[in-house]
Amino acid sequence: MATIATARKSRLHNALEGLVLTAILQSFPTFAAAAFLLKLAGNHDLSGDPGVAIFVAIASLAHAMLAVTFGPSLPHLFKTVYEPKFFEAHLSLSDKITAWRTQPVASLQLVTIVLLLSVMAVVTASVG
């Protein structure tokens, strides 16, 4: 059943899957951490402003679009952002995520993000 579903996947559907995975798994954590660091640094303009969420979403999408556009032709510049496995049409969505997670570089990125967010959460909780 899964092979039938992946065989019928159009190029547009596969490209959208890859773009969304790139935006959510690779671009979003970067901009969310940047917004969190600005908040921790004492930028009071970010307090309760819905514009922060909009900025993070738009910046993540723009970053992912740049990575998807230029990643295949300039792999040495986009090697940490562009993931070719996200664009393999024969893989299902969960298989794409699993293939990405099992790579040592992706594992290191995930551990780094978790540690960074954990440290920032502790600092935020301790300073009020």
Q: What is the pTM for the complete model shown?
A: 0.79
pLDDT of residue 32: 87
Chain segment 66-124, per-residue pLDDT in tens: 999 998 898 888 888 888 899 999 999 999 999 998 888 888 888 888 888 888 888 77
Burial code of 59-84, b = ≥16 C-beta within 10 A, e = fewer? bbbebbeebbeebeeeeeebeebbbe
| SS3 of the chain | CHHHHHHCCCHHHHHHHHHHHHHHHHHHHHHHHHHHHHHHCCCHHHCCCHHHHHHHHHHHHHHHHHHHHHCCCCCCCCCCCCCHHHHCCCCCHHHHHHHHHCCHHHHHHHHHHHHHHHHHHHHHHHHC
Q: Does the pLDDT at position 6 exceed 50?
A: no
pLDDT in tens, 21-36: 999 998 898 888 888 8
Residues 20-76: pLDDT tens digits? 999 999 889 888 888 888 877 777 776 667 778 888 899 999 999 999 999 889 888
